[in-house]
Amino acid sequence: MCCLIRDMIESFSRRVFSGSSGTYNVHALELAAAKVRKLKGLDLTVHFLDDTEHVFHVEKRSKGSALLDLVHQHLELVEKDYFGLQYPENKAGPKAECMVWLDPSKTLKKQLSNCQTNLYFKVKFYVSDPSKLQQEYTRYQFYLQIKKDILEEKLIVAPSTAILLASYIVQSEIGDYCSEDHDGNYLSNLQLIPGQTLELEKKISELHKLHKGKSPADAEFHFLDHAKRIDMYGVDLHNALSEDYDTVLVFNMEAYRSAKTLWKTCVEHHTFFRLHSPKVKKKFPISLGSKFYYSGRTEFQTVSDIQQKGKVEHKFVRSPSRQLIKHITPAPSLEEKGKSFMAPARPSRPYDNKVTSLGSKEPRKAWGADSQISDDDGGFLDKPLDVPFSPGKILSYADDDIPSPTSNGLYDTPPYSASHSPISQIIEDGSVTITLFPDDEGKYGFNVKGGTSKDVPILVMKVAPNTPADNCSPRLSEGDQILQINGKDMSNVTYEEAVKLIQEARTTNGGKLVLQVKPNVLYSGLEEYEEPPYQYVPIGDAQTVQSGNPLEQSMLLLADGLASGALVARYETLYRKHPDMTCDESLKPKNVNKNRYRDISPYDSTRVVLKNGTNGDYINANYVNMKINGTEMVNKYIATQGPLQSTTEDFWQMILEEKCTLIVMLTTLVERGRAKCHKYWPSVGECLTMQNVTVKCIKEETDLTGSFVYRDFVVTDTAIKEDREIKHIQYMVWPDHGVPSSPAQFLQFTEKVRDARRDDAPVVVHCSAGIGRTGVLVLMETAMCLIENGEPVYPLEIVKTMREQRAMMIQNASQYRFVCESVHAAYLKNIVPQKEEEVPEST
């Protein structure tokens, strides 16, 4: 190589200087030197997440940071610290088992061999919440990465979640569903999920229809917001063997290089996510152990820097999903059969493939109370779908008024008014003073949380796009600590006091609101406190709020939460399964087939244990006991799945052993062609005989509307020849998707259940999975009892109590909103009269 270069220079020099009279061609010589330098450099191909690639020329002795800078400039990437470049250490391509991150602090010569010319741009640090990403383009890169992880099955996703995520991909790339343009196979040419079938495409299409009105940016945000909840999201896997020595767990890596790679990954992730700044290297004469340090910026530094700079969005082109198969329309000619071709271009929309203002147009609700959502398919919709916060969808803020009766529960965020410009001033101690004026609708556009007690800080929770709070420089961001509001110190105030100060500012001094804020997105002490439940502060009749009637106050708060949407937003933050409770018994091989759905399992600590079961002691059922505050009353339930044919005998054995007298059924046997429950009872006049019990149906009646069916059974314990009468009430018209059309009929049904209660025996309640509709009924009856006794009703606390006894009770936001509306209706219409206090007789 050296000889070749030398010969080139000598040859070129002879041509340049021959025949000259003491002059030489400077430009030609510089070109020759440039060619020589180019030979010493590297041409590296970087493959990007949108399946494009670009060749970068760098000096071989340059550090990795030089190549990274060129990549960031090429992409115009601002929030660059989340990303990195990977290359295969064993030169086996992008799917090699050992992929290594390019080290910015080391030279390319030490890291790349002559044959390693391909690198892959990837997400290195997976953000815990997409709302921390300030730039739409950054969120788009994350969206591409996760979509690629799912397709390559690096991220294993439950089918229900995969279907939901795919529906957001379709909305982002195709736009709103149109029956005229989108036939039954309009998704067949898009590669959306692994193992894609026509049946899965139909489910994806059904969800796609519900996303109408969402822009690509909205759909991608929802995609990320659901993806962050996947169990293996952001997990970097390394092959290892384990050895267990008493209390010590040892990981054996395949080779020294593998161990070093794992160690470096751990150091980088710990520093990036958990520290404010990287550790400073300390030089010692003798050093032991690894010398590796993470030299980049931490997440805290990245977010703080972007806040200070503000948003600078740029236009970019979104890439389509990979093509799978030939599109069926238009039909190909005979000559073209067997050839695949791209789907026909769709008409452009105003917001396709470019950044748009997220706050100027309100998208329609995809998951409102009237949406068609399956409730008991055992996790068909893996996560609640009513996302509490996303660009363009703002549910509630600390300064919101109650919407008008015609409002749909969302708030428009009009373009920022220049007449109410925010002013910010940097203070020497790192805090920022921001002066805000409300917009034309009287809103500042942010919400707060914290203040559980006097020592818990008040933090910014949400910021609406294109509002005064969003247009500050630096802008307010989630996690910022509010130190002062209009000069009042916030270090020892509660949530209610903070909200009251914000609301009062709108009516004084021209709406001027002065905030002293400490930009601190990753507040280090926050994890020590549990965020309190939402405490809704209604605006209006202060005398009523201070009247001292706890029930009346709780109903005011309930109405305010329903109107603003904050009630559902808080519900979304609840855990679905208690993190400290196990479901090990349901996973045993002998019990797996007794579960109707794989992801619906009873807690071990509260499960019903059969004493004399013919097939063992397991049944998918939990005790759920609901204490009525202010009384000695405890409503006892057994929440269970709809029996399978193979578990019918277990179900009746449970009825026998628990001395139950009432069964409440909230489903039909078949809904939309799918079996929801086995017919576990005999027809009128017939008898069902099992090993330990016989069941005879002696009566069956349907009400005039066809909504309810009442049955009477006689259950006989064959061992002791003892009979017991059992009431059976079935709700026949609960829609397969969504909730009842109005609370009135549901309240009537709940009253029937209350009237049928006898003794102290638990009421057996089941739907299909035993969590969705079952939870709605339990909450409703609990609330009725509380209203009857003049006690306040806090639905969120009731849900938490239920989920401490059976996972996922009240399965989705649609059900939760409906039951809250039913509770409020029951109170307003005096369906449950309050008991009068007993006056002691005078002596």
Active-site positions read: 767
Do residues 639 and 602 make contact, with C-beta atoms less than 8 angstroms apart?
no
Q: How far apart are CA 33 and CA 715, in angstroms?
A: 99
Sort 676 into a burial class: Cβ within 10 Å, 0-12 / 13-18 / 19+: buried
Query: Which letter does DSSP use for residue 730 in this model?
Result: E
Q: How far apart are CA 210 and CA 363, in angstroms?
A: 12
Q: How far apart are CA 296 and CA 81, in angstroms?
A: 7
Q: How far apart are CA 814 and CA 799, in angstroms?
A: 14
For 561, other C-beta atoms within 10 Å of its C-beta total 25
Q: How far apart are CA 525 and CA 529, in angstroms?
A: 8
Sort 737 into a burial class: Cβ within 10 Å, 0-12 / 13-18 / 19+: middle
User: Among residues 518, 394, 393, which one has the least CA distance to residue 444?
Assistant: 394
User: Among residues 731, 680, 675, 726, which one has the least CA distance to residue 703?
Assistant: 731
Q: How far apart are CA 204 and CA 231, in angstroms?
A: 21
Do residues 586 and 620 make contact, with C-beta atoms less than 8 angstroms apart?
yes
Do residues 368 and 222 make contact, with C-beta atoms less than 8 angstroms apart?
no
Sort 22 into a burial class: Cβ within 10 Å, 0-12 / 13-18 / 19+: exposed
Residue with tokens 């009468």: 725
For residue 384, how far is the Cα from the chain centroid?
Answer: 8
Q: How far apart are CA 434 and CA 646, in angstroms?
A: 65
Enter the tokens of residue 490.
């916030």
Task: List Cβ neighbours of 16 (8 Å cut-off, separation of 6 or more).
Answer: 24, 25, 28, 29
Do residues 711 and 728 make contact, with C-beta atoms less than 8 angstroms apart?
yes
Enter the tokens of residue 248.
């010590």
Do residues 189 and 327 make contact, with C-beta atoms less than 8 angstroms apart?
yes
Do residues 426 and 432 make contact, with C-beta atoms less than 8 angstroms apart?
yes
Do residues 790 and 834 make contact, with C-beta atoms less than 8 angstroms apart?
yes
